[in-house]
Chains A and B, each alone.
Chain A
Amino acid sequence: MYGNDFGPRDDATTPLNAAETEEYSTALAEYFDGLIDADSRIEPRDAMPDAYRQTLIRQIAQHAHSEIIGMQPEGSWIGRAPSLRRKAILMAKVQDEAGHGLYLYSAAETLGVDRSELLDKLHAGKQKYSSIFNYPTLTWADVGAIGWLVDGAAIMNQVPLCRCSYGPYARAMIRVCKEESFHQRQGFEILWTLSKGTEEQRAMLQDAADRWWWPALMMFGPPDTGEAATGGHTAQSMAWGIKRFSNDDLRQKFVDMTVPQAIKLGITLPDPDLRWDEERGHWDFGPIDWDEFWRVLKGDGPCNAQRISTRVAAHEEGAWVREAAVAYAGKLAARGEGAVA
Chain B
Amino acid sequence: MSAPDAAPAAVAGARKPGLPDARTLHTRYLLSLGDDALIYAQRLGEWLTHAPQIEEDMALGNVGLDLLGQARSLLTRAGEVEDAHPRRDEDALAMLRDEREFRNVHLVERPRGDFGQEMARMLWFASYQYELYTALLGSADATLAGVAQKAVKEVAYHRDHATQWVLRLGDGTPESHARVQAGLEAVHPYVQELGEDFDAARWASEQGVGVLPSSLAASVNAYVGEVLEGATLVMPDEPRWHARGGREGVHSGAMGLLLAELQHIARSHPGATW
A and B touch in the complex (CB under 8 A): yes
List the interface of chain A (C-beta within 8 A of B).
68, 71-72, 75, 78-88, 91-92, 94-95, 98-99, 101-102, 105, 140, 190, 193, 196-198, 200-201, 310-311, 313-314, 317-328, 331
In contact, A80 and B262 (Cβ under 8 angstroms):
yes
Partner of B46, one of A79, A198, A328: A79
Asked if A317 and B68 make an inter-chain contact with CB atoms under 8 angstroms apart, the answer reads no
Nearest A residue to B167 by beta-carbon distance? A328
The size bracket of the interface on B is 35 or more
Residues of B with C-beta under 8 A to A197: 272-273
Q: Does B57 contact A (CB under 8 A)?
A: yes
**Contact B173 A95, beta carbon cutoff 8 Å:** no
- B175 A320 Cβ-Cβ under 8 A: yes
Stretch among B47-55, B134-142, B184-192, B203-211 lining the A interface: B47-55
A198 / chain B contacts, CB cutoff of 8 Å: 269, 271-272
Q: Which of B170-205 contact A (CB under 8 A)?
A: 171-173, 175-176, 179
When chains A and B are docked, how far (Å) is the Cα of A84 from the Cα of B264? 13
- Cα A81 to Cα B69 in complex, Å, equals 15
Known interface pairs A78-B45, A98-B58, A324-B169; A84-B64 also in contact (CB < 8 Å): no
Known A88-B68, A91-B64, A98-B61; judge A324-B48 contact (CB<8 A): no
For the residues of A in contact with B, the DSSP-based class is helix
Stretch at the interface among B7-15, B87-95, B153-161, B233-241: B87-95
Cβ contacts under 8 Å, A75 to chain B? 48-49
Asked if B224 CB lies within 8 Å of chain A CBs, one says no
Contacts A71-B48, A92-B65, A318-B53 given; does A328 touch B168 at CB 8 Å: yes
Query: Are the C-beta atoms of A101 and B54 separated by less than 8 Å?
Result: yes
A79 pairs with B261, CB closer than 8 A: yes
Residue among B42, B65, B69, B116 with max Cβ neighbours from chain A (10 Å): B65
Of all chain B residues, which has the CB nearest A86? Answer: B274
**CB pair A83 B91 closer than 8 Å:** yes
B residues sitting closer than 8 Å to A (CB atoms) are 38, 41-42, 45-46, 48-58, 61-62, 64-65, 68-69, 71-72, 75, 90-91, 94-95, 114-116, 167-169, 171-173, 175-176, 179, 261-262, 264-266, 269, 271-274
Inter-chain contacts of A140 with B (CB < 8 A): 265, 274
A140 to B265, alpha carbons, bound, how many Å? 8
* Chain A proximity of B60: nearest CB distance (Å): 9
Report yes or no: B269 in contact with A78, Cβ–Cβ below 8 A: no
CA distance A78 to B91 in the complex (A): 15
B25 to chain A, nearest CB (A): 24
20 pairs from A and B in contact (CB 8 Å cutoff): A82-B266, A82-B272, A83-B91, A83-B95, A83-B274, A84-B68, A84-B71, A98-B58, A105-B54, A140-B265, A193-B273, A196-B273, A197-B273, A200-B272, A317-B115, A319-B52, A321-B115, A322-B53, A323-B172, A331-B171
Tell me if A71 and B49 are in contact (CB < 8 A): yes
What B residues does A196 contact at CB under 8 A? 273
A-B pairs with lowest CB-CB distance, top 4: A318-B52, A324-B172, A324-B176, A95-B61
Shortest distance from the beta carbon of A180 to any chain B beta carbon, whole Å: 16
Instruction: Tell me, in angstroms, the Cα distance from A268 to B58 when the chains sit together.
Output: 37
Chain A, Cβ-Cβ closest to B60: A95
Tell me the complex Cα distance, A218–B62, Å: 33
- The residues of B that contact A88 with a CB separation of less than 8 Å are 65, 68-69, 72
Q: Judging by beta carbons under 8 Å apart, are A84 and B52 in contact?
A: no
Q: Are A317 and B274 in contact (CB under 8 A)?
A: no
Q: Which one of B50, B95, B169 contacts A314 once the chains associate, using CB atoms below 8 Å?
A: B50
Contact B52–A321 (Cβ < 8 Å): yes
Residues from chain B with Cβ under 8 Å of A313 in the complex: 50
Contact present for B176 and A321 (CB under 8 Å): yes
